[in-house]
Homo-oligomer: A and B are copies of this chain.
Amino acid sequence: MTSFARRAERVQPSAIREFLALAGDPRITSFAGGYPDPTLFPVDELHKIYDSLLTPENTSALQYTASDGLPELRALVAQRLTADGMPCTADDVLITQGGQQGLDLTAKLFLDAGDVVVTERPTFLGALIAFNPCEPEYRSVPMDDEGMDTVALEEVLRTTDRVKLVYTVPDFQNPTGRTMSLARRRHLVELAERYDVVVLEDTPYRELRYEGERLPTIRSLDPNGRVVHLGSFSKILAPGLRLGWALAEPEVREKLALLKLAADTQNGTLNMRAAAAYLSGFDVEAHIASMLPVYRHKRDLMLATMTEHFPAGTSWTRAEGGLFTWVTFPERLDLAAFQRDVLVPRAGVILVPGAPFFADRPEVHHARMSYSGVPDDRMVAGVRAMGALLADVLA
């Protein structure tokens, strides 16, 4: 058989994919996926919307449409982005197949093989998966409770050739739940200008702030248009519609749209019509507001249960929003082995071991745990069982 392209070597089975498969098993308690709580989906509203869209008078909802996305939906997204401090119009917005496609398209636009992407340490595994087919090199920059350490970033930029992109999830980062401070956001914009790099700002969790003060997006602080800003409907509406957006300078947005056309022609017309009808006909802000106490409660419950049942030497982050906590265990514990040999067979619990979230120099003694998709009783039982097994193994 003819050989694969060189990029295929960078395309390997991932932890996310294996665990998404296991997560379908009803006997498993999954802290692994970044699944929103399905009881929060606005299913009645969507029922009404699809009911009115699928009529013989309205067949355009099932037909092809513009490759860069339904104009009406782009306009509604632009309104929301403008209200969030990023003045723009429908022409500046590209509709994408979820946030993931924004990562894929941006990588294709900027990265030649051997170009360098700087990531947070750890970073979103799905972004590495998206970038890898472009065959980049990676440098990772440490984080603390203020997000990416931009002083360390400057050192990387100063000493590294061919840096093209700095990738960040500034709000309630995946996997750590951390948020980048305002001072760091400003510093990042300065550095991007000084070192001539593009910032890829990925904000799928941005609307899910249930505590603390909302911070301006990095793009809103950028006078020079160096920031490509990505967002998603997955956490504010539903992931099963696969809708996201990209906001960028006209030249960049135009090229992203052409790459989108090449990749899959367009997003599904029906789902774009539905999202537009939802944004224009229902109160999305009220919907978001109604979700926040649920996620805050779930975070509090998971962290309180960990405090009670996890052994000494274990620590975790406390996110002000989003879906995740990042748990750090004693260095001698390899979470992949622990999950495979102990956690799954003895407790039926899954999480995502931390190693694949490192773009370079992986550390094995962390895990990403999501509190969003598990009912309270199962969450408590799962964390408690995990605590007992950890105590056993670490003893």
Seen from chain A, the residues whose Cβ lies within 8 Å of a Cβ on chain B are 1-2, 4-8, 11-14, 16-17, 20-21, 24, 33, 35-36, 38-39, 41, 43-44, 46-47, 50-51, 54-56, 58-67, 96-98, 100-101, 104, 108-112, 115, 126, 129-130, 132-134, 164, 196-198, 225-226, 238-242, 249, 251-252, 255, 258-259, 261-271
Contacts and interface: CB of A to CB of B under 8 A. Distances in A.
Contacts of A1: 196, 198, 225-226, 249, 251-252
Nearest to A10: B262
B239 A64 contact: yes
Number of copies: 2
B267 A242 contact: yes
Contacts of A268: 240-242, 268, 271
A67 B265 contact: no
Contact of A198 (B2, B108, B252): B2
Nearest to A107: B5
A107 to B, nearest CB: 9
Contacts of A132: 262
A155 to B, nearest CB: 20
A239 B51 contact: no
A260 B378 CA distance: 32
Nearest to A48: B54
A140 to B, nearest CB: 19
Nearest to A52: B47
Q: Give the one of A196, A263, A267 with max B CB within 10 A.
A: A263
A238 B17 CA distance: 29
B264 A108 contact: no
A8 B109 contact: yes
Contacts of A264: 96-98, 100-101, 104, 242, 263-264
23 contacts: A1-B252, A2-B110, A2-B164, A4-B255, A5-B108, A5-B111, A8-B108, A20-B64, A24-B66, A38-B60, A38-B62, A43-B54, A43-B56, A44-B56, A50-B50, A98-B264, A130-B262, A130-B263, A133-B259, A241-B268, A241-B270, A263-B263, A263-B264
Given A2-B198, A54-B47, A62 B265 contact: no
A239 B2 contact: no
Contacts of A54: 43, 46-47, 50
B196 A110 contact: no
